[in-house]
Structure 1
Amino acid sequence: MRMGYGLRLEQTQKLIMTPELRQAITILQFSALELSSFVDEQLMENPLLEVVEENASSANSETEKENATQNSEEHNEAENTWDMDWEEYFQRQEERVTREYEPGSSETKRMEPFVATAPTLQEHLLEQLHVQKLSIPVNQVEYIIGNLDDNGYLELPLEEIAREQGIPVASAGKALSIVQSFDPLGVGARNLEECLRLQLPLIPDAPAHMSEFLRHLEDLAAGRLQRIATQMKVSTPEVQALADWVRKLDPKPGRRFSGSSEVRYIVPDVVVEEIEGQFIILVNDITVPRLGINQAYRTALSQNKEDDTRKFVEQKLNSAAWLIRSIEQRRTTLYKVANALVNRQEEFLRRGVRYLRPLTLKDIADEIGVHESTVSRATSNKYVQTPRGIFEFKFFFASGIKNEPGVTTEGIKQALKNLIASENPKAPYSDQKLSELLKEKEMEISRRTVAKYRDELGIPSTALRKRY
């Protein structure tokens, strides 16, 4: 074999990812809130970008220069009027507040509506602590409160708390007892049994065997009711009655309060409304301001002859124009995808989950004439509000069952839930029986698949569902 150096011409095709193309792809993946934050950052960085008011495009002018001058004059008048309105507004507010809270005022007293953050578990406990008269230092109790997890449990052993605080173990135990007496009952527990036992005062009419029954929580979780009945020397129905009482208690009392993982509110990116039997699609871009190009910089671009200044303005102008184009392209793509989904899943929107059709990214991509990756990016981390509720876009891409082209896993799960809800609790269906009943509904799946879907739905097995 001969080796050596040489030159040759070769023609190949390459896809070059320009910064503009990367930005367009990134914008397509943004949710409504993420896009709003991104636009705010761009408004700070690019002086050529400006927010266009909705009524600004309604004015017609003969020339672009006259239009820019008119907008500038209106802007100055608006600023002056705005300042005067704010002064008058604050003056009215001060007069009204003084009048409402003035002693002997005949007007109805009312408080302004405020949006307040819900207290955390630690804040709720500290508030109770600071109104207590304690025989031990407050910092010992505060230390325990600060080490509670989100569920309200204390994971640190008393020995470690005593060592960290430099106090006897008995003092740490006394501080823990104070925390366990606070609302909600069950906080400060070191395990599930202690948590439930602390809540027994909440059910004064509970059976006498309840305290003893709490020692058998592991057997209860495993469904070994007959074993519990034998050890407690009671009947199996009595054990089930005790289990019903336990379900009234809260195994995670700290979850009632806000924490670091606060509830995340969903802002739908697309809204689907049914009007006179027709589904109307609206892309939710209310949170994103309308963008335009600052006319003053356009004039500077045509007049300025300096290379550096002109180059800077040209660069920012191109960046602004591409951003506006990318946002509009995102809006168009979202609308096309949502429209295709509504057309394919119209039966679901009208009749429910049972009629959700199997669908893939490729189906939508072929219909709107784009690549699958574009559909994937357009639907990633986005939500759609429908008459059936708010769903993630991925929900509509339901997987189908082999040899059953019109049946989806979501439809089977819904049918499975309905069957179990209507069963006789004294003789619940087995997984094999559920498989046979689903076959009668033209949903042919195996017993193992039934067990898999039942586990995903959080439905216990036949033995655990049985009532004696």
Structure 2
Amino acid sequence: MKLRLDLRLSQKLIMTPQLQQAIKLLQLSRLELQQSLQQHLMENPLLDELATETEESEETATAEREQPDTSTTVSSEVRGEGDDKPAESGENAEEFSASSWEDYFDTDMRRGETEYSSSSKEEFPSYEQTVAKSTSLEDHLVWQLSLSGLSDREKAIGRLIIGNLDDDGYLRMSLDELVAGTDYSVADAESVLKDVQGFDPNGVAARDLSECLLLQLKFLGRSQIGSLGSRPGVLKGTVLESIVLHHLKDLEKKQYNRIAKALNISMDDVFEATRIIEGLEPKPGRPFSNTQNYAIVPDVFVVKNEGVWEVLLNDDGLPRMRISPYYKQLMSSGQSGSAETKAYLDDKLRAAQWVIRSIEQRNKTIVKVVSSIVKFQEGFFERGIQHLKPLVLKQVAEDIGMHESTISRVTANKYMYCPQGMLELKFFFNAGLQRADQPMDMLSSLTVREMIRQMVAAEDARKPLKDEEIAARLRTQQVLIARRTVAKYRAEDNIPSATQRRKFF
């Protein structure tokens, strides 16, 4: 084998660290972007946050007026001059002592009002007292356990049981697993479990749905709805208990005839029992679950101004950054200190400039992408979801001359506020279904889903529409759709089947 050297030309796409960070910055949500910018402000001393344009102009004018004094001060600080000067003492030092600052901040002075002292720190509640926290299911049950007359050993078992309940209030593990590794017996755990099941809310600490509903039936105080005989092969107890124990599947499928035949009772008794069971809570822990809603701040606003749709970027709450005037003047004067200090400042200056340019480029890209979406979906903004058109990333990418991956990053975790409400940018990208009257014109899948929801909402509850009937009605409206597609859309929108939607009373 002969060794030799060759020169070859090739092209490679190399992603520099700056490019990788710019791509990451592009796909950040608004909250993540705010946190990222705050991190840059803390780590880079050359980045400065500016509140308003008025403040910027005032600071610039002040810096120009004080430029000689500032340069002298900077020069003396960098060169180390004045180190041999004694520190100020006497009246000035006493004037700004620690006690003086505390007295200053403890006084609240408002314009147009008389001076008064604010409350001292000891009078304010602690931070933990001011934090709003809803009562959890565990806290609620432990509070009841502490007020019960159980022994310390039984309370310890009770805390073990309560600690293993899920968010719905169920004990999903067996008692053998619960007491494994402890000196408690299964009999002890079973005894304490019955006590915990008597706590509020009713049905808590049940091991399955049937037990949960039975626990709640015990607290209803209702009379029995019919009584079953003791003939062989026939269940004993009330109709409610029999349905809960053995016919929940039939009840879910609305097979009332089968329940009446199995229990040898009338349909009226089945309907009355069903009304009571439907009033029970299958998830006792639901009222204690964390249902806190978080407000979504839109990234862009779409408004109509003089007949033209405009895209407005929402930069409220995001820090406005600039290069620090102090360091800018320090570096321009050539008094930045040693070579190591100068190299450090140069590196931070490049990083600061890159962040500012990346934010500007990010904002321009978002506005450009949203403007293209508005152009494609103008019918939706004018007349609603019935006029939403099918749209894919490739169409927007070709319209603005960018890559599909860039469009995907821009639309990720971004929200728009428009006359139709708060919408995610991904909402506008959906598949299409062919129309019978206009083969070249596609209908958005979201529009078809809305048509299905409207049909289900307007149907007769005694005779709900089946998937075949919904597909047939859509075909009469020139929408070519199969039955299985209707079933898919219905399942994705959490719409029950026709059997489950049927009501007999």
Q: TM-score range by the shorter chain?
A: 0.7 to 0.9
Change (3 A) 1:242 1:63: same
What residue in structure 2 maps to residue 124 of structure 1? 140
User: Is the counterpart of residue 155 in structure 1 residue 155 in structure 2?
Assistant: no
Alignment correspondent of 1:433: 469
Q: Does residue 1:139 correspond to 2:171, yes or no?
A: no
Q: Which residue of the partner structure matches residue 361 of structure 2? A: 329
Please give the alpha-carbon distance, in whole angstroms, between the structure 1 residues aligned to 2:469 and 2:321: 61
Name the CA shift for 1:460/1:244 in 2 (closer, same or farther; >3 Å). Answer: farther
Q: Flag the structure with larger Rg.
A: 2
Q: How many aligned residue pairs are there? A: 445
Q: TM-score, normalised by structure 2?
A: 0.78
Of 265, 274, 279, the match for 1:234: 265
Q: Amino acid of the residue matched to residue 394 of structure 1?
A: K
CA distance in 2: counterparts of 1:71 and 1:125, whole angstroms: 66
Contact 1:60 1:67 in 2 (8 A): no
Instruction: Provide Cα deviations, 1:204-263, integer angstroms capped at 9, x if missing partner.
Output: 55872222211211333345433222212234565455334333222122232245x975
Q: Distance in 2 between matches of 1:16 and 1:454?
A: 46
Residue number in structure 2 paired with 1:287: 317
After superposition, give the CA deviation of every residue in 1:164-212 in whole Å (9 maximum; x if it has no partner).
4423333212321222222221210100111122222565558722222
**2:377 aligned with 1:361, yes or no?**
no
Q: 1:144, CA displacement in angstroms?
A: 0.8
Give the drift of 1:278: 5.7
Deviation string, structure 1 residues 270-317 (Cα, Å, up to 9, x no partner): 233556766553333323211111122223323136322111111100
Q: 2:243 aligns with which of 198, 213, 221?
A: 213
Structure 1 residue 50 and structure 2 residue 67: aligned?
A: no
> Aligned in 2, Cα 1:96/1:148: closer, same or farther, shift over 3 Å?
closer
Asked whether the equivalents of residues 391 and 430 of structure 2 are also in contact (C-alpha less than 8 Å), the reply is: yes
Other-structure match for 1:225: 256
Distance 1:213 1:236 in 2: 13
**Deviation of the 1:142 alpha carbon:** 1.0
Is structure 2 residue 19 aligned with structure 1 residue 21? yes
Please state if 1:256 is matched with 2:287: yes
Cα distance in 2 for residues equivalent to 1:325 and 1:376 = 21
Stretch of structure 1 that moved more, 458-467 or 39-48: 458-467
Query: What is the Cα deviation at residue 392 of structure 1?
Result: 1.9
The answer as to whether partners of 1:33 and 1:287 remain within 8 angstroms in 2 is: no
Q: Determine what percentage of the aligned residue pairs are the same residue.
A: 38
Contact 2:168 2:284 in 1 (8 A): yes
Q: TM-score, normalised by structure 1?
A: 0.84
Task: State how 1:190-209 maps to structure 2 within 5 Å.
Answer: 190-200=207-217, 203-204=220-221, 208=225, 209=239
Shift, 1:59, TM fit = 3.3
Q: What is the match of residue 331 of structure 2?
A: 301
C-alpha separation in 1, matches of 2:449 and 2:267: 31
Structure 2 contact 106–118 (Cα < 8 Å) conserved: no
What letter is aligned with 1:185?
N
- Larger RCO, structure (CA 8 Å, separation 6 or more): 1
TM-superposed CA distance for 1:86, in Å, is 4.3
> Does the residue aligned with 1:423 lie in a helix, a strand or coil?
coil
Q: What amino acid is the match of 2:323?
A: I
Contact 1:399 1:409 in 2 (8 A): yes
Structure 1, residues 7-59: CA drift from partner, whole Å, max 9, x if none?
33333222221111111111101111101111121122111111112132343
Q: Is the 8 A contact 1:32 1:287 kept in 2?
A: no
CA contact (8 A) 1:361 1:375 kept: yes
Work out the CA distance in 1 between the residues paired with 2:198 and 2:211: 13
Cα deviation for residue 439 of structure 1 reads: 1.1
In the alignment, what sits opposite 2:417?
385
CA contact (8 A) 2:253 2:499 kept: no
Residue number in structure 1 paired with 2:302: 272
Q: CA RMSD in A?
A: 3.4
Aligned to 1:110: none
| Structure 2 match to 1:107 | none
Given the alignment, which residue of 319, 343, 347 partners 2:351?
Answer: 319
Q: Give the match's secondary structure for 2:106.
A: helix
SS of structure 1 residue aligned to 2:15: coil
Unmatched segments (≥5 aa) in structure 1: 73-79, 102-112
Distance in structure 2 (CA, Å) of the matches to 1:387 and 1:202 = 49
Q: Residues 131-172 of structure 1: CA distance to partner in whole angstroms, max 9, x if unpaired? A: 333245322211111111111111222233344442333321
What is the distance in 2 between the residues matched to 1:70 and 1:289? 30
Give the C-alpha shift of residue 428 in structure 1: 2.4
Distance in structure 2 (CA, Å) of the matches to 1:463 and 1:70:
85
The aligned residue for residue 182 of structure 1 is 199
